[in-house]
Amino acid sequence: MGQFVQLTAADGFVFPAYEARPAGSPKGAVVVLQEIFGVNSHIRAVVDGYAAQGYLALAPATFHRVKADVELGYGPDDIAAGRELKAAVEGLPAPGVLPDIAATVAHAAQAGKVAVMGYCWGGLLAWRSACSLKGLSAAACYYGGGMTTADEVARQPQVPVLAHFGQHDHWISVDSVQAFARAHPDVQVHVYDADHGFNCDQRGSYDEASALVARDRTLA
């Protein structure tokens, strides 16, 4: 079971991050970036899971610059609220929320090498982090929303990247995933027989088999 800690970005902004520590000495650190639903029970469970695997794990509240204490579910109203919050954060002056992720990475570095991973919007943020932030050793992006658009494909990762997509994702076309893979042959791109959100066991699109394979690949 983890707890929230307060971190400070380079511009002085203070934000919470959910942190879970392993039983013994950490073998590294994982920064988990939320979906559009906040650092909710699912994201906290993901963090706890990576701590159980021996990593110091943290999930920064990447909505905090526009709204505090966001914890949404997965119903239509939650999705609408999450989209509005995402749009508000994406509309912040550059570099947006990246300083908060950078501060989380710096805090996590106490455990050694740091990986960043994210889901949906968090997958997009993980990709941006892999392309622009210092202090990372690897990144894993799960169905990164917007990640396969031209502007994002134009970015160049500075660390090894693993990308997970669903073949039946109606938000991210297979054609755009294939174009992304061609543009970035060094990125490990995997496409699963699954829908968007296949890693989340609180969503109807959860696919246990795909989630387990993706997790094994991410851990490796």
175: annotated active-site residue: no
Kindly report, residue by residue over 44-75, the tens digit of the pLDDT.
Answer: 999 999 999 999 999 999 999 999 999 999 99
Q: What pTM was computed for the model?
A: 0.97
| β-sheet bridge partners, residue 138 | 115
Chain position carrying tokens 């380079």: 10
- Complete DSSP assignment for 33-79: E--TTBS-HHHHHHHHHHHHTT-EEEEE-TTTTT-SS-B--SSHHHH
Q: From residue 60, give the alpha-carbon distance in Å to each of 132, 138, 153, 171.
A: 18, 18, 25, 25
Tell me if residue 85 falls in helix, strand or coil: helix
Question: String of b and e for 110-129 (b: at least 16 CB within 10 Å)?
Answer: ebebbbbbbbbbbbbbbbbb
pLDDT value of residue 80: 97
Kindly report, residue by residue over 123-132, the tens digit of the pLDDT.
Answer: 999 999 999 9
152 contacts 146 by C-beta, under 8 angstroms: yes
Q: What percent of the chain lies above the pLDDT cut of 90? A: 99
**Which of 120, 141, 164, 195 does the annotation list as catalytic?**
120
pLDDT value of residue 1: 76
| β-sheet bridge partners, residue 30 | 57, 115
The secondary structure element, H or E, covering residue 141 is strand 138-142
User: Which of 169, 163, 211 has its CA nearest to residue 188?
Assistant: 163
199 contacts 192 by C-beta, under 8 angstroms: no
**Which of 64, 107, 164, 196 does the annotation list as catalytic?**
196
49 contacts 119 by C-beta, under 8 angstroms: no
**Which of 169, 195, 200, 207 does the annotation list as catalytic?**
169
Kindly report, residue by residue over 153-176, the tens digit of the pLDDT.
Answer: 999 999 999 999 999 999 999 999
131: annotated active-site residue: no
d(CA 174, CA 142): 14
